[in-house]
Chains A and B, each alone.
Chain A
Amino acid sequence: NAGVTQTPKFRVLKTGQSMTLLCAQDMNHEYMYWYRQDPGMGLRLIHYSVGEGTTAKGEVPDGYNVSRLKKQNFLLGLESAAPSQTSVYFCASRADRGHGYTFGSGTRLTVV
Chain B
Amino acid sequence: DGGITQSPKYLFRKEGQNVTLSCEQNLNHDAMYWYRQDPGQGLRLIYYSQIVNDFQKGDIAEGYSVSREKKESFPLTVTSAQKNPTAFYLCASSMTRQVGNQPQHFGDGTRLSIL
A and B interact physically? no
Binding site for B on A (CB under 8 A): none
Binding site for A on B (CB under 8 A): none
